Amino acid sequence: MRKTMPAICGIALALCFFSPAIFSNETPASTAGRTKIVVFLGDSLTAGLGVQPSEAFPALIAGKIRAAGLPFEVENAGLSGDTSAGGLRRIEWLLQRPIDVLVIELGGNDGLRGLPVNSLKANLQAIIDKAKAKNPAVKIVIAGMQMPPNFGADYAAEFARIYAEVAQANNAVLIPFLLEGVGGHRELNQPDLIHPSAAGHRVVAEVVWRTLEPILRAK
């Protein structure tokens, strides 16, 4: 049985200034046309709290993109402590530049605060709606999260289920559990047992890349 990490993002984390990290791909393929953009919209897991920016999984994905010679630029729009409502507030700013692939990693803090699952679902849907209104061809990837059973079996089950429901309703691609192989594994997490270590981020990057690579090659 897959172990689930005890928490996703620390509730006590104070919101910080948002300054997205951009990893450019200076490859010959990029000169053939506009370099496309992959945006990771998320919380402290995406931001890479507790590790170097170069060790966070979006930066590792950028390295995989460069190695594959794909014409994509990666923008890390992770913000520690963010909720799905916070992501919804920020998406308009991010959409000022074209987004070709939007990876949404949000909801952990909603769950930790016991916020209604229906609100999480509505916020994810609103983010997708805004992204598609700006670019109908945008490809949406949803990173699923899980709550530990101590939050209540019914809540945990409903929480996990909404990611699949939102993905199906929007023809989006689902990563069933972002922290597959990492959540609950002490050796892959920082001492808080909440945030992945550098080694944990390498595992997360592999999980994401399995889903993302085919999408980028087809774009």
Read off the tokens for 10: 């620390």
Q: State yes or no: is 43 an active-site residue.
A: no
Compute how many other C-beta atoms are within 10 angstroms of the C-beta atom of residue 10: 18
Which of the residues 24, 54, 129, 192 is marked catalytic? 192
Which of the residues 84, 195, 197, 201 is marked catalytic? 195
| Nearest by Cα to 142 from 87, 69, 198, 199 | 87
Stated as kind and residue range, the H or E segment containing 208 is: helix 198-218
Block residue for tokens 């909404």: 162
Compute how many other C-beta atoms are within 10 angstroms of the C-beta atom of residue 41: 28
Which of the residues 30, 44, 84, 197 is marked catalytic? 44
Compute how many other C-beta atoms are within 10 angstroms of the C-beta atom of residue 183: 25
Q: State yes or no: is 44 an active-site residue.
A: yes
DSSP, collapsed to helix, strand or coil, labels residue 74 as: strand
CA distance 102 to 74: 10
Contact (Cβ atoms closer than 8 angstroms) between residue 188 and residue 203 = yes
Read off the tokens for 67: 């190695």
CA distance 148 to 155: 10
Phi, psi of 208 (to 5 degrees): -65, -45
Q: State yes or no: is 201 an active-site residue.
A: no
Q: Catalogue the active-site residues.
A: 44, 192, 195
